[in-house]
Amino acid sequence: MGSVKCYRSMNELSKFQAKHNNNLVNIKREEAVRMKKAKVVTSSESSRKMRPALSPEVRENQLVSLAVDLAEKQLRDGTASSQVITHYLKLGSTKERIEKEILEKQKELIEAKTQSLQSAQRIEELYKNALDAMRNYSGQGDPDDY
């Protein structure tokens, strides 16, 4: 088991505690000295560095992102023009949400119609192949096949 040290007087005990408390304070001070100070960021440094766009679509998305960020900053600062405010008010309206939902449903409908047409073409081809196979089995196939 560990040894237990007995102190003869309260004076010795208080000296021991003071010594170890002092060590703890010194350790905390050293840690504080080692930590890096936070870098002050100016507005010019806060702008994000973007990679060059690899395609026109990516470039367009970058520009839209920058425009939205600028509009948000203007709205927060109270310097946004009436056009910017009106634009974002319209985006948040019930009518705009309903129109967006209608467009999404129309897109889904067009995709479903496209899939249906492709499926119909595949079925038509399968029927044609089946009919040709039956003609060949019955002996009514094309004479060129022989």
Using alpha carbons only, give the angle 74, 75, 78 rounded to the nearest 5 degrees.
80
pLDDT at residue number 103: 96
Q: Roughly how many angstroms between the first and final C-alpha of the chain, as a whole number? A: 102
The pLDDT score that the predictor gives to residue 141 is 66
Which one is predicted more confidently, 136 or 50? Answer: 136
pLDDT tier, 120 (very low <50, low <70, confident <90, very high otherwise): very high
Cα 15 from Cα 27, distance rounded (Å)? 19
Predicted confidence at residue 32, as pLDDT, reads 47
**Mean pLDDT across 116-142:** 90
